[in-house]
Amino acid sequence: MSNDNLYIVTGDGEIREKFDSNTYYIRNKNQDEFVKMKVKAKKDFDEFNEDTGKFIWSYPERIQQLIKSNEFSKSDITMIFYLATFINGTGYLAYDNNIKLDKKGLQSKLEIGRTLFGKFLKKLIKYEILMPSGNYFKWNETCNFYGSTKGKAKPKTLVRTYVNQIRELYETKNEKGKRKYSAINLYPIFALVPYLHHSSNIVCKNPNVQDIEDIEYFNLKEIAELLDLRDSKRMVASLHSLVLDNQTTFIKVESKNEAYLKLNPRIFWRGTNVPDQNLVAEFDMIDNNRKKK
């Protein structure tokens, strides 16, 4: 039927005006429900991101390249992720007030000695992760970037890296005023990011598979091998002890006499929709029980 023969009618049957296809469109009930579902999903995800805070984008493949490289140590990987959280909208490393970080500022943020910092900075520049620009530095956006993905990559190929959470893990202090977690302690969080399933945050071998029942998860022994660690029990205890603002970082899930790990979606999230409520509630349950002890 041609749109030329259609009219807009009021509830009592009175013809209001002729249908103008340039102004209006027609969709059936199923299409209408689908549109409503997409609008709600976007609203829910926007609310999750607002609650969780600012994030930068990271490339899983690039993370893997850095980890497999013999040039970067476990501590280097952690410091790279930490520095990336200071990317501003123009690609420079900057404070939250948008004043750019110079060499002295970078060393101060990393809280490392002059000699170690010098070696680390040279490495970043050599492998074009950092690009000097006068007294300041631009970050290579093929590693991480902040802002719109348009013209750069599809969101489903990226990982949302939540800024405040990464900084808190790196910066949090113990009772003596020293950093609570060393860069090596935090390394597993970043090393396992490329293996996060896109909708469950399970550490697995096939992170892009659609159905959860098809996930091939890494067991604890395999994860220890992946991280180049010898003792899987000590590894789990270490990961479980990493607490972010009273929130558990990793949880262990038992399945058929084996166990696998999930990473808190408030730190890294690969999905293009809001994390499932049950996934978030699982971490909240662990945290609530820990507080009661």
Can you give the pLDDT at residue 286?
80
Identity of the highest mean pLDDT range in 12-16, 193-197, 233-237, 285-289: 193-197
Q: Which residue has the higher pLDDT, 290 or 130?
A: 130
pLDDT band, very low/low/confident/very high, at 94 (cuts 50, 70, 90): very high
Segment among 82-91, 93-102, 237-246, 274-283 with least mean pLDDT? 237-246
Rounded average pLDDT over 245-250 = 82
Can you give the pLDDT at residue 12?
57
Rounded average pLDDT over 165-181 = 92
Can you give the pLDDT at residue 34?
56
Given a cut of 50, is residue 188 above it in pLDDT? Answer: yes
Rounded average pLDDT over 120-131 = 96
Identity of the highest mean pLDDT range in 33-42, 47-56, 192-201, 243-252: 192-201
Can you give the pLDDT at residue 268?
93
pLDDT cut 90: percent of the chain above it: 55
DSSP string, the chain: --GGG-EEE-TTS-EEEE--TTT-----HHHHHHHHHHHHHHHHHHHHHHHH--EEEE-HHHHHHHHH-TT--HHHHHHHHHHHTTB-TTSBBB-TTSPBP-HHHHHHHHT--HHHHHHHHHHHHHTTSEEEETTEEEE-TTTEE-S--TTT--GGGSEEEEHHHHHHHHH-B-TTSSBSS-HHHHHHHHHTGGGB-TTT-BBBS-TT-SSGGG--B--HHHHHHHTT-S-HHHHHHHHHT-EETTEESEEEEEETTEEEEEE-TTTEE--SSPPPHHHHHHHHHHHHHHHH-
Mean pLDDT of the chain: 86
Boundaries of every domain in the chain: 1-37, 55-180, 192-293
Give CATH for domain 55-180: 1.10.10
Q: Given the DSSP bridges, would you call strands 55-58 and 144-145 parallel, antiparallel or unpaired?
A: antiparallel
Euclidean distance between the first and the last CA atom of the chain, given in angstroms as a whole number: 69
Amino acid at 121: L
Can you give the pLDDT at residue 1?
46
Rounded average pLDDT over 172-197 = 92
Rounded average pLDDT over 263-278 = 91
pTM of the model: 0.82
